[in-house]
Structure 1
Amino acid sequence: MDIWEKMYLKAKEEYRPQEVTPFLYAHHVVCALESENGEIYTGFCVESCCGVMDLCAERVAALNMYVNSGQTVIKRLIVFRDQEPREGGDDIPCLACREFLLQLSPRNKDIEIMTDYPERKVKRLEELVPDWWGWKRYRESGQDQDAN
């Protein structure tokens, strides 16, 4: 079993779409990520009638990683709905998640994101956000693109 299969199976355990209340829907998008030290963290999407309270599976998994271990660097990420990612995958993670992941650590530009599970195709986050506005702020703060 390769790391991608292990991550896929961990995330799949979270997939169980449910209406929590008439206002909240959860577990319909799931994510697993591998942290820098090799641990796997999962997350699921929570959507509400009030969009500002929505949380994507990727951000929940990254927050789980940070809260439980203090880590901010992610090596790999897989996110999907009812089946594994196939062909393309340029729309996942969403723009808000891409932004959050880069703000979490400049090293997250190198995250491998699964875009086609059967073919084991990946893209790096930096490919999805090639000219991110935040690099200037990292440089000005003394942290360059390769800093922690």
Structure 2
Amino acid sequence: MASWEELYNRAKDLYDPHEVSPFVYSNHVVAAIESEEGRVYTGVCFEATAGVLHLCAERMALVNMYMDSRQTKIKKIIAFRDKVPYGGGSGMPCGACREFMMQLNMENRETLIMQDYASKKTVKLGDLIPEWWGEERLNMDLDL
């Protein structure tokens, strides 16, 4: 099982804000996740001028996990910019990343998200997305 320190260090190693082109900025947000099998996957933010081309570090780590192992379940995740998550909203995945984690596997509601690295305070994804809309869809009788 990966420690929070290991996840932090794996992500921190990727922190290297830079312009890829006049339109793309990268590595200014980094993330590391631990999969259900205990493997660590990382990702970096790849931000394009056109918002629809933007790829968050968390989603990149999830895609890397899926492409490598076909896993969809996440134990824990840490994401940050220039310093560790320090409470409040720091380190919290954006709405698109939260939604992607839930759609990838509903059991990800139990995923621990690092909220404050110093105190090791975490929050479960399910607490950030109460009454997720997808549950109703999954429970619908699709016989029309």
Q: Fold match, TM over 0.5?
A: yes
Superposed displacement of residue 87, structure 1: 1.5
Residue in structure 1 matched with residue 129 of structure 2 by the alignment: 129
Superposed displacement of residue 89, structure 1: 3.0
**So what's the TM-score if we normalise by structure 2?**
0.94
1:115-142 C-alpha deviation (Å, 9 max, x unpaired): 0001000000001001110111222389
Provide the alpha-carbon RMSD of the alignment: 1.5
Which stretch shows the higher mean deviation, 72-81 or 131-140? 131-140
Residue in structure 2 matched with residue 44 of structure 1 by the alignment: 44
Alignment size in residue pairs: 141
Q: Which runs of 5+ in 2 are unaligned?
A: none
Q: Which runs of 5+ in 1 are unaligned?
A: 143-148
Counterpart of 2:133 in 1: which secondary structure?
A: coil
User: Aligned residues: percent identity?
Assistant: 50
Residue in structure 2 matched with residue 29 of structure 1 by the alignment: 29
Maintained 8 Å contact 2:102/2:109: yes
Maintained 8 Å contact 2:73/2:107: yes
Q: Could you tell me how far apart the structure 2 residues matched to 1:141 and 1:115 are?
A: 38
Q: Could you tell me how far apart the structure 2 residues matched to 1:20 and 1:39 are?
A: 29
Maintained 8 Å contact 2:79/2:92: yes
1:49-99 C-alpha deviation (Å, 9 max, x unpaired): 111000000000000000010000000000000100002237710000000
Runs of 4+ in 1 over 3 A off after TM superposition: none
**So what's the TM-score if we normalise by structure 1?**
0.91
